[in-house]
Structure 1
């Protein structure tokens, strides 16, 4: 029996990708996304022909509803008004569940940033939970980090799993299948010498490296966002063939960069204590040492394959938009773990 799903604020389709990876027979009843390039990317990967449409004027009926309304206003600097702002679009999801889905979905998944349950924005979360309870749902909330699911990206997100109260199912975040974090180098481009156009050349970014405000990724990257040129991004060494990892003395296994990482002593630097930021201010031509992640690397770090990315690349989507599509998505492997528990796979 096919699982009928609805993706609201669907982005590039991470939930569908996770379900397909798990072998679930999925029937996409509808996919709602207003950003044209996101729709283009989704259609390219899944061979669909969806059109951009607004969540404000839509209705249908499904088994599983996944939504991740825009999260920008739940950041520390975001708006905090239940009657305004982009993030308030979750209210439209509540309207759809309440009035337009008959019967209501068995399961609803809401993904958002950690700031949603912080002091400033907790009333949004509480409002949502009370509404879902009034609709007949039992709710489970947890914070998941993609570092725990095999992906070297420090990305914490709040997931609320709502199960219709006539369904004999309980959700337990504690039993989700965790995966060892893979080495970051596995997600980077195969030939660093062929990468061109990603050097860090902006004076403000070089300054942020010197002050330690921008980090150099050694074992994992910071949260991938919609823009790559910003101080809280993670940079990587331009020539990362120049580093290696010592084995542990106890069992001989490699350490994925968390301890004993060293760089060959040439024009770069020697040993780097894992607890310290490299003193790169002593090195000349800093912009020649570091680069930004490529779009392909960002898609890999969101759990998509190169085959997925190549299909999207054929659509000639602008470079900066590809970063936005990755930054707005959900890590596929995190969703896989959720679906395994929710659907008893």
Structure 2
């Protein structure tokens, strides 16, 4: 069972560069420190997991089939995610409170009158999300979910794809809320709009449950504060600049430097392909123009500098472009955690038991584990 992150960590008690691994803390006790548990499907390199852990959640299962993404995930969390989710039954997955997933956008089949919306999703990866939600429901789990996708899913296949997604989730008993959020509103120097789909079990929370998405932060982040200088190895040759980058008939890239008080364009998984002019490039380096560095990519996605990238640069760009903006996910996760807390408090009032540790809700689960595992230095 997945329990906690494998990471270098410096806590307030003076312990530095400590490797936190699952073996340092018994799984059952680690979960007692969590506000809620979650599973991470189509996990990529773990950006969503970090966001939910920062909101007080504990991962109990993850799935990711891509081998290079698995390498990065293992380097940072100390475990290899399970593989193809289509081959994993719900019984093989531990019980959990929240399902989180960013899933591929695939067209659905036409809907028969008697077959229902879930039937229309068969043969797609979204079907497996529904399958797990439905099969786990018999044990009172899960209580909620968060799904993330590109805004274009709302118009995909003439709007049918999004309609089927929402209706099929409602069909299995969830009240569903959706909103498009921009990562630039949550403290990262990147314009990155994504649609967030949140659902709560109506038989647990009630038909009248309401959910407010986070509004973002008042503090903007700008790329100029994250750019590195005199960087080697990321330069774009003069030939590529002339042939691809500055062709008049093929668009214009965004060129930035230390004076650029802006948020950059959305980082895409094909960023390293210079001939595809959708990216942001830096006025720096031996040839005057270079690619974003690994640390700059981490910054615009909300990853810490010590996040380990054990794969090639090409794979790094692909993985970062496919990942999530962590602060935006964290903000939504915190809102979900609030609803779970309110549910627990209502249950305790009805049972006559006092609410335990109310001040604990929120905050990085890894910090709690560190504080418990590592005693303060004298």
Q: Scaled by the length of structure 1, what TM-score is found?
A: 0.74
Contact 2:156 2:162 survives alignment (8 Å): no
Answering whether residue 166 of structure 2 is matched by residue 116 of structure 1, we say: no
Aligned twin of 1:259: none
Question: 1:159/1:44 Cα in 2 relative to 1: closer, same or farther (>3 Å)?
Answer: same
Aligned twin of 2:97: 63
Answering whether residue 179 of structure 2 is matched by residue 142 of structure 1, we say: yes
Contact 1:198 1:293 survives alignment (8 Å): no
Q: How does 1:150-169 map to 2 (within 5 A)?
A: 150-165=187-202, 166-167=204-205, 169=209
Contact 1:235 1:293 survives alignment (8 Å): yes
- Pick from 232, 235, 247 the counterpart of residue 278 of structure 2: 232
Q: Which has the higher contact order (CA 8 A, sep 6+)?
A: 2
Answering whether residue 236 of structure 2 is matched by residue 195 of structure 1, we say: no
Offset, 1:82:
4.2
Greater shift after overlay, 160-169 or 298-307? 160-169
- Secondary structure, in 3 states, of the residue corresponding to 1:307? coil
Cα deviation code 1:247-303 (max 9, x no counterpart): xxxxxxxxxxxxxxxxxxxxxxxxxxxxxxxxxxxxxxxx93321112221122110
Offset, 1:81:
5.0
Mapped partners of 1:291, 1:183: distance in 2: 19
Aligned twin of 1:222: 265
Residue correspondences, number? 280
Question: 1:197/1:216 Cα in 2 relative to 1: closer, same or farther (>3 Å)?
Answer: closer
Unaligned runs of 5+ in 2: 1-31, 111-119, 339-361, 363-378
Mapped partners of 2:267, 2:300: distance in 1: 8
Mapped partners of 1:100, 1:121: distance in 2: 32
Offset, 1:205:
2.7
Contact 1:11 1:33 survives alignment (8 Å): yes
Contact 1:176 1:338 survives alignment (8 Å): no
Answering whether residue 356 of structure 2 is matched by residue 326 of structure 1, we say: no
Offset, 1:170:
2.4
Contact 2:73 2:81 survives alignment (8 Å): no
Mapped partners of 1:119, 1:67: distance in 2: 19
Unaligned runs of 5+ in 1: 74-79, 240-286
Contact 1:66 1:109 survives alignment (8 Å): yes
Question: 1:294/1:134 Cα in 2 relative to 1: closer, same or farther (>3 Å)?
Answer: same
Mapped partners of 2:211, 2:74: distance in 1: 32
Aligned twin of 2:169: 132
Aligned twin of 1:279: none
Alpha carbon RMSD of aligned pairs, Å?
A: 2.6
Cα deviation code 1:182-214 (max 9, x no counterpart): 12122222xx21332332542443234786432
Q: How does 1:98-109 map to 2 (within 5 A)?
A: 98-100=134-136, 102-109=139-146
Aligned twin of 1:31: 62
Offset, 1:152:
1.4
Task: Considering fraction of residues, name the structure with more helix.
Answer: 2
Mapped partners of 1:131, 1:104: distance in 2: 18
